[in-house]
């Protein structure tokens, strides 16, 4: 399942679909492309397709005959030629990234298991040596602390 896909604005603006379809038809076309990229293919059940597009039955009936021209039947599913090309390229890219990540993880985990771990590698883990700086930093100023509290109130996560 894809959560995003590349959208090539120049290609879209010069595409046959944009030039031929009216605004209502283009909206349905784009909704179907979103579903196609998300799932990899479209079902052929028109009752479910119009619900996926969040349009009324009347809007669907008006638009589908023209929009349908841009999708081809592939077995029991519908697909779009351009979208299929992009999905195939994305699948190859994802496979390469996955393989690269596995190789990196294998290299990381196959390192010497007997090598000292970080806490064991420290010469003395006592409190005086635990601080990474030779001289502790002075405490934060009241102005800095208050400023940070004020900024946190404006965080979009609160």
Sign of CA dihedral 112, 117, 118, 122: negative
Sign of CA dihedral 69, 73, 77, 79: negative
pLDDT one-digit tens code per residue, 40-87? 889 999 999 999 999 999 999 999 999 999 999 988 999 999 888 888
Which tokens go with 109? Answer: 């985990």
For the stretch 20-29, pLDDT in tens is: 999 999 999 9
- Residue-wise DSSP of 10-73: HHHHHSHHHHHS-HHHHHHHHHHHHHHHHHSSEES-HHHHHHHTT--HHHHHHHHHHHGGG-EE
Half-sphere exposure of 93 (CA within 13 A, CB side): 9
- What is the pTM (predicted TM-score) of this model? 0.62
Task: Assess contact for 50 and 57: CB atoms under 8 A.
Answer: yes
Which residue ranges make up each domain of the chain? 9-85
């Amino acid at each position: 399942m894809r959560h995003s896909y590349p959208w090539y604005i120049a290609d879209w603006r010069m595409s046959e679909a944009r030039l031929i379809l009216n605004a209502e038809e283009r909206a349905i076309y784009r909704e179907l492309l979103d579903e196609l990229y998300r799932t990899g293919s479209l079902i052929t059940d028109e009752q479910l397709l119009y619900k996926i597009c969040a349009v009324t039955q009347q809007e669907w009936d008006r638009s589908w005959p023209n929009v349908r021209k841009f999708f081809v039947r592939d077995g029991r599913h519908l697909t779009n030629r351009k979208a299929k090309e992009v999905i195939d390229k994305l699948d190859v890219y994802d496979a390469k990234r996955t393989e690269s990540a596995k190789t990196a993880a294998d290299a990381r985990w196959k390192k010497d298991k007997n090598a000292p771990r970080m806490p064991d590698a420290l010469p003395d883990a006592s409190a005086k040596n635990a601080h990474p700086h030779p001289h502790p930093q002075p405490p934060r100023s009241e102005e800095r602390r208050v400023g940070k509290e004020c900024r946190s109130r404006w965080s979009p996560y609160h």
